[in-house]
Each structure stands twice: as structure tokens, then as C-alpha cells.
Amino acid sequence: MKAVHFGAGNIGRGFIGALLFQSNYETTFVDVNTELIDELNKKEAYRVELAGTEDYMEVTNVSGLNSLNDEEKVIEAITEAEVITTAVGPNVLPMIAPLLAKGLGEKKSTGLVIACENMVGGTETLKNHVYENLDEEQKEWVSDRISFPNAAVDRIVPNQNQEDPLTVMVEPYYEWVVETSSVTSELPDIKGITYVDDLTPYIERKLFTVNTGHAVAAYLGKYNGHHTIKEALEDVKIKNKTQAALGESGGVLIEKYGFNTEKHQEYIDTIISRFENPDLSDEVTRVGRGPIRKLGPKDRLVRPALEYIRLKNEEPVHLAEVIAAALDYRNEDDAEAIELEGMIRKKGKVGAFCEIAEINENHPLVKAVEKHIN
């Protein structure tokens, strides 16, 4: 069995690539990083270490292709693959879509495309970008043969410097949930995938807990002078505020999907304990990078805050505080942070937030955030 995975970075190798290997797939990684691609082709294997343990896994039966230099080979690999996955980041999906479209347009067999990204509706977004690069005949061809199920993924892969550029450390915990309602082809037997009819509760549980919690620790940590997530959560005030913010986002989940209150609190506690794992300690600047995207209307801070107002008919206190801290985020090595700073100079914090979150200045969330800004 063959798979193509776009994104040879730590998440791609340490999470998706590892599970594909355990499911007996021959995986071709596609990336623009020449060093990683050359190393994959040289060694045809890499090591995955499990944080907090002595356990590790040797992933074999892998190779690499450079999407800039090996376009024809990438297209050929796509046509031969039963499964195509991505872990490239939301902003890169439009960039890989033209090449993916060429491969799918020539594919004769059925297949599955799954975007394993930290976003809601990642595969649907990728599908739309792919279809923009197909003519009407190709769209019909691809629609009949290729399924694009949305997915929710969760595994912490910390920033790391390994002696071997292919070696990657990941946490033992992971979750990969794939929605089956749009799948017309046979479901692949991939170790670690949970197939469900409706993905929405799982996506929002992950987004409103893991991603929200990470953002809380990162932005409040940075604001208070901490350098790592672990260091931030050792600050009792920040840990309590993280719990409180996840209590607000958790209240939304319980209200919308009927999650058991006690079990969801256990889930919150598990997530925070994962953040506290010393082997997974990550820099607040890496977790907080891309503040404009993370302050967007569908992302980890604004979305649960808007839902909280809608369902509870009251302002969120703790999520609003984190949003205010995110507006104070500064990092000269982060292009979005620099762009955010420029927006704030021109429009002020409230004006910049309204534009990014796509809400007007009279919205209750703006009023809640403004209290913390002031």
C-alpha cells in the first residue's frame, strides 16, 4: 500500500508518517526542504522518540520528493497512492493545491485525501483549493473517485534540535479522528484513526481545549515574561487562568454537544498535564506565533468566546483577557506579530481586533476585551 504525505516536518514524520508506517504503508514525503528530502532518500528511515519515556520507533519504508524540483514524480506518486495526507499548516494548503490537483486529475483509481491540520474544515478547505485548479471535466472525474473527509488531529510535537535532522520527539498521546459521512471509497485500515459520522464535536473539543489552552499559556506567559509553556504553567495565576478559560470554552462544548461535565473536566486536566510534561516544554513564542490567524473569527480564542456569548448571554472574562494579551504579543521574528503591531499603530488595539475578528466595535466581545486592554 502506498501513501503520499505533504509536509516532512516534525508533525508529518512524528505523527502521520509514524501511523502510516505502523499500518504497513510505503510513504512518500513531499516537501520543499531539500535537507529533509535528501536525508529521507539517503536513510529511508527515521527515529520517533516518545517524550517522557525511553521508548522509540524506527520508521522505515519512506522516501522523499521535492515539490519544486520533482513535480512529475510527485504527480506520479499521487496517482499511485491510496491515501494522501497533509501536515503543512493552513496557510500552505493553497500552495500545494495546484500540484495535488494535477496528480488527482491523472489518478485512475479511488483514493482518500485527508488534511491533518490545526483548523476546522481543513480537508474541505483543501478540496476547494484543489477544485479551483481543475476544469469541469476533471472536477467530475475527481468527484467520482476521490473522497475528502475532514479530520481532527491532536499530538504535541515540541520545538526541538536533534543531532539527526530526521529524528523527532512526540508525546505518547495522540488523537486522529476522521469523518466518514462524505467518504464514498473504502475506508483504509490505518492504525490510530477513529472513524466517526459527525466530526464537529471532536474538532471543537480539540480546538476549544488543546488549541485554546495552549494559546492561553502562550499569550499570558509571554505577557508575564515567561519563556516556555511549562514555565508559564508553573505560575499559579496563569495555570488558574488557563483552567478558567477552558472552563468557559468547556461550557460551550457541554451546552452544544452534551459532553458529560465531569468527564470533560477530566479531559481539561489531561490536556493541562500534557502541557506540563518537561519533555514537551515548548517556547511561548512558537506556540503563540501567527497571532493574526489565532485571533481570527473561526480560531481558538474568538470562536469559543463568540459561542460563549451566544449560548450564555454573558461576556467571557478569561477568554477576553487572553485575547487582550494576544493583542500585546510582540515577536520580531514572527511576520504576523510584526503585521499585528503595524495594524495596532494605525487602528489601535480595538480597531485592529475588530478587523481581525470580523466584528464591529459595539459587539459584547469587543467590550469585554476592551476592559482588559484598559
145 with 251, same domain: the answer is: no
Query: Which cell is 77 given?
Result: 506518486
Say yes or no: 83 and 45 in one domain.
Answer: yes
One domain for residues 224 and 110: no
How far apart (Å, rounded) are the C-alpha atoms in residues 33 and 38?
9
pLDDT of residue 157: 85
3-state secondary structure of 239: helix
CATH code where residue 57 lies: 3.40.50.720
Number of domain units in the chain: 2
Residue 130 sits at the vertex; the CA angle it makes with 128 and 132, to the nearest 5 degrees, is: 70
Quick one: cell of 14? Answer: 512524528
Give pLDDT, residue 271. 94
* The last residue of a domain, from among 174, 197, 220: 197
DSSP state, 49? E
Residues 100 and 162 occupy one common structural domain: yes
329 and 225 co-located in one domain: yes
Q: Which residues are annotated as a binding site?
A: 3-14
Using the 3D structure, point to which of 163, 179, 197 is the last residue of a domain.
197
86 pLDDT more than 90: yes
Same domain, 95 and 237: no
Q: How large is the average pLDDT for residues 77-101?
A: 97
Please tell me the distance from the alpha carbon of residue 351 to that of residue 335, in angstroms, as a whole number.
Answer: 20
The pTM for the full model equals: 0.75
- The answer on 237 and 157 residing in a single domain is no
Q: How far apart (Å, rounded) are the C-alpha atoms in residues 181 and 179? A: 6
Alpha carbon 97 to chain centroid distance? 18
173 and 254: one domain?
no
CA pair distance 286, 118, nearest whole angstrom: 14
Containing domain of residue 187, as a range? 2-197
Same structural domain for residues 190 and 83? Answer: yes
| CATH number of 363's domain | 1.10.1040.10
Please tell me the distance from the alpha carbon of residue 286 to that of residue 304, in angstroms, as a whole number: 22
Annotated binding site for NAD(+): 3-14
Residue pLDDT, tens place only, 246-255: 999 999 999 9
Secondary structure (H, E, C), 174-204: CEEEEECCCCCCCCCCCCCEEEECCCHHHHH
Q: Domain boundary at 180, 197, 214, which? A: 197
Contact 215, 301 (CB under 8 A): yes
Checking phi first, is residue 89 left (phi over 0); if not, alpha (psi -120 to 50) or beta? left
Report CA 178 to chain centroid distance, whole Å.
14
Nearest in space to 18 (alpha carbons), one of 77, 54, 60: 60
Q: Quick one: pLDDT at residue 182?
A: 87
Q: What is the pLDDT of residues 138-169, one digit of tens each?
A: 999 999 999 999 999 999 887 788 999 999 99
- Residue-level pLDDT at 57: 96
Banded pLDDT at 228 (limits 50, 70, 90) = very high
Do 61 and 100 share a structural domain? yes
State the cell numbers at 137.
471535466
Backbone angles phi, psi at 324, to 5 degrees: -60, -40
State whether 236 and 183 are in the same domain: no
Residue 72 grid coordinates:
512529475
Task: Check whether 53 has a pLDDT greater than 90.
Answer: no
**Do residues 151 and 286 both lie within one domain?**
no
